[in-house]
Structure 1
Amino acid sequence: MERDAVTTPFGRRAMTLGMLATQVLSRQIEPGQTAGKWKLFQSLCDARLHFGLSERSLLVLNALLTFYPHDEISEENGLVVFPSNSQLARRAHGMAEATLRRHLAALINAGVLVRKDSANGKRYARKDQSGGISEAFGFSVAPLLVRAEEITAIAISVAKERQELRRLRERLTICRRDVSKLIVVALEEGAPGDWFAVQERLRIMTQTLIPRPTRQQAEDALEEFEMLREEVTSRLELKFKSKDMSGNADHIDRHLHNSNPHSLSELELGSRKEPKAKSEPTNPHENREMAIFPIQVVLKACPEIVPYGPYGTISSWRDLMVAAVTVRSMLGVSPSAYQEACEAMGPENAATTLACILERAGHITSAGGYLRDLTAKARSGRFSLGPMIMALMRANGQGMG
């Protein structure tokens, strides 16, 4: 690039102060300065939001760099590439020429390319007597070379921010899991308090989580969940201290062995599995999994379903789901209605819902219609089993301790 010359665009394209500033910056190349083009391109991909570049603009830059004949960008290797629009479009996966021009303009406005137009606007190179290029007209990658350190530093900063956000999301996931499992313990142990209300609070907090939070949003949400975890833990500590735990190791050991070994894996409140990376749902309430209550709590609230289990008893979720199939037919609920409930609520909650409907069968005109209504509410995040189970437990004279 001719360091002392400032060039203006060909034809109707206007010259701007930003273009002038980029050209002036491009003349500040240090002697012997080099940069690996693909490493620099990857850094620019990481820092693209800072430069206001889209993936499509980067696709055009990638195609343009394939015309640069060396892996290292330097003045010695030349700084101008001069492919025609048709050649460039072919390497940009057949991009339309109008789209190509738009993204070339975006790269220039972002200050990573400079136009060096010929008198007639054509892109070409003149060769000297030895066959080397004496002068070229096209796009100069000099701004990339000059800004190499800046681009790399921004990319490193972006990577650190992304890592910190990932760490915050992991802590948030763990905290949500902790609260869910602690609520299960409280329900199983009969700790005093309205644990259905706590579970409902957890459900609402989970529903209002932003699918792709910023760092500040993640920090705010984490603080709220940590406060809830501390509150639940404090209540359980009171329950623990109120028991006659004299310090006898055998007593504690018996207490642990008598606990339900499946309570933390099979009966967890909240999500049954870790959330997968997925696109943001159209409805913010969609794709949120309902809470699963401990089966002991379900059976206390809905004892009528027990005789329909295998061998006239229910001791696991599998038994409850088998009983639910029998009850479904008996209540006149269609297979499709039950299948939709399973898809919207999960199989455990669908079976629990049928058990609740059976418990109140004498007061429900159409069990199938009622189930479809609850399924629709579950899909939109407006249905929780907590209040229903709590009402049935009270009706059956079952307290929460």
Structure 2
Amino acid sequence: MSLAMLSSQKAARESPKGARLNKWKLFHTVREAREALGASDRGLAILNALLTFYPENELSEETGFVVWPSNEQLIARANGISPATLRRHLAVLVECGLIIRRDSPNGKRFARKGRGGQVEQAYGFDLSPLVARAEEFAAMAETIAEERRALKCARERLTLLRRDIVKMIEAGLDEGVPGDWAKMGRVYRDIIDRLPRVPDLAIAEDICDALALLHEEVRETLENHVNLQNKSANESHSERHKQNSNPDSQSESEYGFRNKSDVSGNAGETDNLHSLPKREMPLALVLDACEGWRDLAKGGSIRNWREFLGIVEIARPMLGVSPSAWREAAEVMGDKQAAITLAAIYQRGNEIISAGGYLRNLTERARDGQFSVWPMVMALLRARIEAGNSPPPPKPDDDSTGEGGLSVSPALARSLKKPRR
């Protein structure tokens, strides 16, 4: 005996008189409210078996509410569960208040019938709590159904927010839109890391609220950039039309620079590619020109091209260059030339508005055979000479590279000292 059993018996005594309810609809309601009731799957299978022993489709007081199957009959209709499992889950059904035990003096289950064949006294399992608590079960089932619908909507909203945020961040990187995309990506990852494999309604709604704030921030960043572009286009439409009429003219915003210094060298150097050195650019020469690249290496030392290329995955996210922009550059220029180009862009990062957009522009020029990394590196070396931070002086007849300093050919040394045209 327990307080739950006493409560069930009290509810059964207070059931409405003359009530007639379809037993299978009641079972469906109980199944929907299973979690709130604390019933188990095996317990519901046993309850289903008990209902099959009730002779009518409708539970009513006229027919009686007690069924008296033996354990062997219940086991057979409950898909052959063990006797110990049967006893355990029958106790669960009693504890949940779904059935009541009506035990005989000797503990057997049976019915005593009168002379007319009607049942006068039955000992077994009383199903009257199903009728007495029908409205309570229906309210539980409706609440659970509403929570399930709300969870489904929250998951759908979560999926849409995740998809939109990822696509907008990728669009911002691909289009070279100014913004702290690395930070937004970290915030997104931090939010998603809090999401369990199977979230409940409270967690799903909390994650949705956090993603909604990030979604608004990302969208506003993109919309502000679009509005700024539209405003600039309206204010200087005629000037932009004049610039666009010349296919060889590119605006500073296309190249992504804050000033007019071109990191790829002047036009004459770029157009006369046949006059540039045909041999591979020495690693030491690149490192002297792009000294900031060396600072990204572990220990501040780069000993070979493999270590040089390994810095790409560190510098690319820092510059806001999208993976697609880097892959395209590597396919067109080759891994080594694309890495040198990225190193030069990193060296001049303060002068470049959009590193990703500028890398795409150089990739297109390389595709058309109008770009070489030599002018970029020469421009950076010349800038160091003019700033009084020149590399070690070249040896007269040696064009090899070494870790102790940079050695270049006399012709290359003279080209560095030439005034820019």
TM-score by length of structure 1 reads 0.61
* Partner residue in 2 for 1:222: 208
TM-score by length of structure 2 reads 0.58
Classify the secondary structure of the residue corresponding to 1:138. Answer: strand
Contact 2:98 2:130 in 1 (8 A): yes
How far did 1:205 drift? Answer: 2.1
Contact 2:174 2:356 in 1 (8 A): no
Deviations for 1:64-116, whole angstroms, at most 9, x for unmatched residues?
A: 11111111111112200111011101111111001100100011011110000
* Partner residue in 1 for 2:112: 126
Contact 1:28 1:146 in 2 (8 A): yes
Tell whether 2:194 aligns with 1:208: yes
Tell whether 2:146 aligns with 1:190: no
| Residues in 1 aligned to 2:93 and 2:217: alpha-carbon distance in whole angstroms | 52
1:295-310 correspondence to structure 2 within 5 Å = 297-298=322-323, 300-302=325-327, 305-306=330-331
Deviations for 1:204-247, whole angstroms, at most 9, x for unmatched residues?
A: 32232122222221111111000000110111122112214557
Letter in 1 for 2:47: L
How far did 1:134 drift? Answer: 1.9
Tell whether 2:52 aligns with 1:27: no
Unpaired runs of 5+ residues, structure 1, are 1-14, 251-292, 308-312, 314-354, 363-389
Deviations for 1:37-68, whole angstroms, at most 9, x for unmatched residues?
A: 11111111111121111111111111111111
Classify the secondary structure of the residue corresponding to 1:156. Answer: helix
User: Structure 1 399/58 Cα, relative in aligned 2: closer, same or farther at 3 Å?
Assistant: same
| Residues in 2 aligned to 1:90 and 1:392: alpha-carbon distance in whole angstroms | 80
* Partner residue in 2 for 1:399: 355
Worse-superposed segment, 172-181 or 219-228: 172-181
Classify the secondary structure of the residue corresponding to 2:123. Answer: strand
User: Structure 1 305/190 Cα, relative in aligned 2: closer, same or farther at 3 Å?
Assistant: closer
User: Structure 1 300/70 Cα, relative in aligned 2: closer, same or farther at 3 Å?
Assistant: same
Contact 1:301 1:392 in 2 (8 A): no
Contact 1:302 1:359 in 2 (8 A): no
| Residues in 1 aligned to 2:173 and 2:184: alpha-carbon distance in whole angstroms | 11
| Residues in 2 aligned to 1:149 and 1:297: alpha-carbon distance in whole angstroms | 59
Contact 2:330 2:338 in 1 (8 A): no
Classify the secondary structure of the residue corresponding to 2:189. Answer: helix
* Partner residue in 2 for 1:166: 152
* Partner residue in 1 for 2:220: 234
Letter in 2 for 1:399: A
User: Structure 1 91/207 Cα, relative in aligned 2: closer, same or farther at 3 Å?
Assistant: same
* Partner residue in 2 for 1:10: none
| Residues in 2 aligned to 1:71 and 1:115: alpha-carbon distance in whole angstroms | 21
CA RMSD of aligned residues (A): 3.1
1:41-52 correspondence to structure 2 within 5 Å = 41-52=27-38
How far did 1:19 drift? Answer: 2.0
How far did 1:136 drift? Answer: 1.1
| Residues in 1 aligned to 2:96 and 2:227: alpha-carbon distance in whole angstroms | 64
How far did 1:361 drift? Answer: 12
| Residues in 2 aligned to 1:301 and 1:393: alpha-carbon distance in whole angstroms | 13
User: Structure 1 112/19 Cα, relative in aligned 2: closer, same or farther at 3 Å?
Assistant: same
Contact 2:70 2:109 in 1 (8 A): yes
Rg (Cα) greater in structure: 2
Classify the secondary structure of the residue corresponding to 2:196. Answer: coil
Contact 1:192 1:400 in 2 (8 A): no
| Residues in 1 aligned to 2:337 and 2:197: alpha-carbon distance in whole angstroms | 37
* Partner residue in 1 for 2:308: none
| Residues in 2 aligned to 1:62 and 1:360: alpha-carbon distance in whole angstroms | 73
Classify the secondary structure of the residue corresponding to 2:355. Answer: coil
Tell whether 2:139 aligns with 1:114: no
Letter in 1 for 2:61: E
Contact 2:195 2:207 in 1 (8 A): yes
Contact 2:5 2:95 in 1 (8 A): yes
* Partner residue in 1 for 2:122: 136
Deviations for 1:351-375, whole angstroms, at most 9, x for unmatched residues?
A: xxxx9xx66999xxxxxxxxxxxxx
Contact 2:5 2:97 in 1 (8 A): yes
Tell whether 2:167 aligns with 1:181: yes
